[in-house]
Amino acid sequence: MTVSPVSPALRSVPAASWPARAAAPQAMRHPAPFTLHGTTVPDDFAWLKAENWREVLKDGTALPAPIRAHLEAENAYSAAHLADLGPLRETLVREMRGRIKEDDDTVPQPDGPFAYFTRYRDGGQHPLVCRERREGGEAAILIDGDKEGEGRAYFDLADAAHSPDHARIAWSADVAGSELYTIRVRDLATGRDLEDEIRATSGEAVWCADGQHFYYVEVDENHRPARVRRHRIGDAQADDVLIYAEESVGWFVDIDETTSGAFVLIRISDHETSETWLVDRADPAAVPRLVAARTPLVLYDVEHHGLDLLIRTNADGAEDFKLCVAPVAHPERARWRDLVPHRPGTMLLYQFAMGRHLVRLERENANPRIVVRDIWTAEEHAIAFDEEAYSLGLDPGYEFDSGTIRFTYSSLTTPNETWDYDLATRERRLRKRQAIPSGFDPARYVTRRIQALAPDGESVPVSLIHRRDLALDGTAPCLLYGYGSYGSSMSASFRTNLLSLVDRGFVYAIAHIRGGTEKGWRWYLDGKREKKTNTFTDFVAAGRALASAGYTSEKRIVALGGSAGGMLMGAVANLAPELFAGIVAEVPFVDVLNTMLDGDLPLTPPEWPEWGNPTEEGAFRTILAYSPYDNVRPLAYPAILALGGLTDPRVTYWEPAKWVARLRAETTGADPILLRINMDAGHGGAAGRFDRLEEVALIYAFACKVVGLA
């Protein structure tokens, strides 16, 4: 699809004036101050948090009537305010859908006599889990996501794990957006589900070698993954055997398996510290065996090869992680010895073992690379790439003794490519290149990485893409994306949707701010707890650097972030409102202080290592100083669009609702403050791939409007 270039005159139009609308909903103020550490904190909109919030997260129909009426009024107000964007939104959806190959599938991944893959049918919203004979032939649909989701307002097909004998598949789905997954078991000979039904799980299933048992993680009454159980086919859930129970409320529990297939891994972590237990997959009656007891601030994860465990860890001062080896029989810390030593500035991200090789993913200066090591000779080589900024993914596959690995590659201007790589010959075989049915010419675009100077002198990487013929004279609008929490790095990967903005003259940029690990673990540590404000000032610095370099200018930037990135949006709205034409905050974590004080909420205790526990005065002072909701004050805020989900267990609906209410009460400007709550979904928004386009189109249309391009 070709989009006509935007004229320089149109690009220079100032932010649109918003037409007069009906009065915005005004949330009632019910003073509910609390005092802690000698400081009184006002919370006039606390009433928007339903007292029966646990029931609401499981089933949105439990929402009390006064709160429902308020949220529906907010939705109606936003719909009316954005009604004139209807034609643009429809155009954007058509454009974005035109770039999707609707009957697409993944490259089949072999496992024994079969190869497994996912597929979408033409017009289908949800994936189909399929397999074919290894040598090829007609594919069989094992799980039909469209059929299972038919008639549901929300449906998310999560895990689909086939048994080692290929006779059954354990699959899980969430039908409310609350991330409470039900696991079912399908007999692949008949295509029918067995009577086994396991509710309130995290969704993952790991089979025992016998194909008659599998492990799963049970969610507790506060929505936290806390217990590992073993299920035997045909048994009732009440009879499932408890394998591991985490008694402390501050830890996450999940499960996985080693690439070798020898062990189930039970992993416990809290962002700063971790612990792993091994369970023998060959023995359905096996009990977990501890690798190494949790030690404060020591993280590690485990792979397996032969008589050894391969352990990625930050122990012994290895800030950016190193790789150790230890005997399976005696894996305690005292037995760990270095295999790949720590190299400051080179972040060791992930590793897995194959029959003869060890493969790892590293990152340096915000770009990843793959390194292959011959286990027997210790010879290493890297798989190289040329672009300034790009994204890599690794897939070990199902077969341990394979001599081939699969990786994916893309950049902001290179559609996703799937490659098979021969570990012995070092030959690459392109298996698939992402198709763009409406057409895509990478020569029309430019991708760059620039550096922004933070207030404390740090250099912040910024990846960007724009049309090659765009005049870099400061008149172009910019959509600036950021996250900056939990050590998550934002990859410079190909995104077909953003072309709808870039083709209209936008610069799209990703700020690789502190709180992520783009520049190593220190980059993360320098953006958390008492140093959290570095995340916010880095983002502002990125925006100003883009303006100084002529890519855009102040009041031509639209900021975008979600979840913890939504907290970033709230913080920069308070810090530098003059920089932005608009701000979009998806499921924004903006009520940080109140949330971190409520130990009953699903994620609060496990999140204290990330943000701090405000029952301690130091953490209280730090959080109170930046918490977006608590720092709203009389300012000329830019136009703001906040998006939330009613059944979201991560960032509860009342966070954006309270934030918008306070913003609207305090702003001294004329730009609108809008809230839209998806009454049928949770943290991830709409689950269907085309339904999600409607949400993206709303965000993009809003961005166009606030810079005068609607």
The angle formed by the CA atoms of residues 555, 560 and 565, to the nearest 5 degrees, is 130
* Distance, CA of 402 to CA of 405 (rounded, Å): 8
Strand 192-207, strand 252-257: pairing: unpaired
Catalytic pick among 126, 231, 304, 683:
683
Residue 509 CB-half CA count within 13 A: 35
The angle formed by the CA atoms of residues 467, 471 and 475, to the nearest 5 degrees, is 105
Taking CA atoms, 667 is separated from 117, 310, 623, 673, in Å, by 51, 55, 22, 9
Q: What are phi and psi of 372, to 5 degrees?
A: -110, 130
* Distance, CA of 478 to CA of 555 (rounded, Å): 10
* Distance, CA of 133 to CA of 139 (rounded, Å): 8
Per-residue tokens: 282: 């060959």
Torsion of CA 624, 593, 580, 663, to 10 degrees: -100
* Distance, CA of 75 to CA of 673 (rounded, Å): 12
* Distance, CA of 680 to CA of 688 (rounded, Å): 12
In DSSP notation, 611-669 reads H--TTSHHHHHHHHHH-TGGG--S----EEEEEEETT-SSS-THHHHHHHHHHHHH--S
How is the chain split among helix, strand and coil, in percent rounded to 5? 25, 35, 45
Per-residue tokens: 128: 């189909």
Residue 331 CB-half CA count within 13 A: 25
Residue among 410, 497, 511, 502 nearest 451 (CA): 511
| 131, 111 contact by CB (below 8 A) | no
* Distance, CA of 447 to CA of 435 (rounded, Å): 20
Kindly state the helix (H) or strand (E) to which residue 93 belongs, with its residue range: helix 86-98
Question: Is 165 annotated in the active site?
Answer: no
Look up tokens 């606390």; give the residue: 46
How many Cβ atoms from other residues are within 10 Å of residue 52's Cβ?
10
| 446, 413 contact by CB (below 8 A) | yes
| 344, 320 contact by CB (below 8 A) | yes
Question: Is 274 annotated in the active site?
Answer: no
* Distance, CA of 640 to CA of 589 (rounded, Å): 15
* Distance, CA of 486 to CA of 483 (rounded, Å): 9
Residues linked to residue 405 through DSSP beta bridges, in sequence order: 421
* Distance, CA of 627 to CA of 42 (rounded, Å): 13
Question: Is 17 annotated in the active site?
Answer: no
Taking CA atoms, 235 is separated from 188, 196, 209, 331, in Å, by 19, 7, 18, 34
Catalytic pick among 156, 301, 648, 671:
648
Q: What are phi and psi of 680, to 5 degrees?
A: -120, 15
Q: Using DSSP, state whether 466 is helix, strand or coil.
A: strand
| 178, 58 contact by CB (below 8 A) | yes
Catalytic pick among 178, 274, 563, 627:
563
Kindly state the helix (H) or strand (E) to which residue 478 belongs, with its residue range: strand 478-481
Q: Which residues are catalytic?
A: 563, 648, 683
